[in-house]
Structure 1
Amino acid sequence: MSHGEHYFTASPASPAQLRTIDVRLAGREVRITTAPGVFSGDHLDHATRLLLDVVPPPPATGDLLDLGCGWGPVALTLAHAAPEARVWAVDVNERALDLTRRNAAADGAANVTAVVPDDVPEDVRFAAIWSNPPIRIGKPAVHEMLRRWLPRLAPDGVAHLVVSKNLGADSLARWIEKDLGLPTERITSVGGFRVLRVTRSGAR
């Protein structure tokens, strides 16, 4: 599969394409259903693992966003950490959304809603946004995505993004501050990946 293939909409996987893997999420071993045609379809990638390991627990209530959900590791972690919150798992890939719905149902995460971007009501504001953004779709597309979602943080909301240093984590942080007016800081750097923290405090 080419670098960008999994970012394009794919139909839900056929039964023959489904596979199961065991993944540790939120301190638990979880059996996941996944398939080819989604990001990191056969394992939990290092960047997402770093995000899940270093970001503090999300708020207990409110709307939480997993931006670019793939097969759902971030959404499931948010749902387990904050069972009273509403978790939005957003992706443009219908196969990813189908897998996230399957995995949320199997894990008893009834508070997960997996939808395409346009299905999130415009008035929803997020107490937390967690994302391993698809940097390889190109800078203009990534900027467009973040311009759409980061300003939808609640006044006291916090976003965490994990981005490869070699794929422009530092320049992305500067762009968020300059173009979106949102304070951004690097909270950790491990194995070539940065975790960025974005807030609305002091935003224009």
Structure 2
Amino acid sequence: MAETEDHYFSADPAAPFERVPVRASVWGLDLSLTSGSGVFARGRLDVGTAVLFRETEPPNGGRILDLGCGYGVIGLACALAAPGSTVTGVDVNRRALLLANENAAALGLGGHYAAVEPDQVDPDAVFDEIWSNPPIRIGKEALHALLLTWLPRLVPGGRAVMVVGKNLGADSLQRWLVEQGYPTERLASAKGFRILEVRRPAAD
């Protein structure tokens, strides 16, 4: 992990704030975004997220959660590819939230995308889909707690689509999700990453 990413899951990274441009082609869309120091994948589209885009089709619309949004690339791509969607990005990194909201405004998505801290999400809000490159490096216990916080907020029959490195425990995570009552399938495997589709049962 690069020095400036050591604490990308901190609320206030210590690295001096420097904005860095990023260009990404996802789902046939060319995005011009701004990333920054102290934020995950500064100045680039990380390999896992690139695999996620390449191995999936965009969502159809609805209410989407961009979990661990970083500078916003996944949720913003969802909002652009599914114009009828409403996307909420969540992250603990305030610098990431600032960048994600700036990127949304620059793309004209201010009415369709908003990035907020987790406790700022309406406690009654539910989601049709969750898209995420989850912060595996926060540790297994914290990751499990994170997923058990947000997966129950899927509507019955809703799904989460996640990219997880095989060497970071993707297969054991899949088994654990099934044990928690969330049927989970591997949609694809590429470049050392798994794309997992997690379903909330239609009737809990």
The two structures have a TM-score, normalised by structure 1, of: 0.92
Decide whether the 8 Å contact of 1:72 with 1:89 is kept in 2: yes
Partner letter of residue 66 of structure 1?
Answer: D
Matched residue, 2:135:
134
Matched residue, 1:176:
177
Unaligned runs of 5+ in 2: none
Shift of 1:50: 1.1
The 1:13/1:20 distance shift into structure 2, 3 A limit, reads farther
The 1:124/1:2 distance shift into structure 2, 3 A limit, reads same
Partner letter of residue 177 of structure 2?
Answer: I
Matched residue, 2:72:
72
- Separation in 1 of the partners of 2:104 and 2:15? 16
- Separation in 1 of the partners of 2:194 and 2:13? 32
The 1:156/1:59 distance shift into structure 2, 3 A limit, reads farther
Shift of 1:203: 6.1
Matched residue, 1:150:
151
Decide whether the 8 Å contact of 2:14 with 2:38 is kept in 1: no
Decide whether the 8 Å contact of 2:71 with 2:99 is kept in 1: yes
Decide whether the 8 Å contact of 1:183 with 1:203 is kept in 2: no
- Separation in 2 of the partners of 1:99 and 1:147? 27
Give the match's secondary structure for 1:6. coil
Shift of 1:129: 0.5
Matched residue, 1:10:
12
Decide whether the 8 Å contact of 2:4 with 2:37 is kept in 1: no
Give the match's secondary structure for 1:7. coil
Partner letter of residue 80 of structure 1?
Answer: L
Shift of 1:202: 5.8
Unaligned runs of 5+ in 1: none
The two structures have a TM-score, normalised by structure 2, of: 0.92
The 1:7/1:99 distance shift into structure 2, 3 A limit, reads same
Q: How many residues align?
A: 201
Decide whether the 8 Å contact of 1:164 with 1:193 is kept in 2: yes
Shift of 1:3: 6.0
Shift of 1:157: 1.1
Alignment RMSD:
1.9
Decide whether the 8 Å contact of 1:12 with 1:98 is kept in 2: no
Deviations 1:151-193 (A, max 9, x none): 11111211111101111001101111112x1101111110110
- Separation in 2 of the partners of 1:108 and 1:141? 34
Identical amino acids, percent of aligned pairs: 46
Partner letter of residue 19 of structure 1?
Answer: V
- Separation in 1 of the partners of 2:156 and 2:14? 36
The 1:3/1:22 distance shift into structure 2, 3 A limit, reads closer
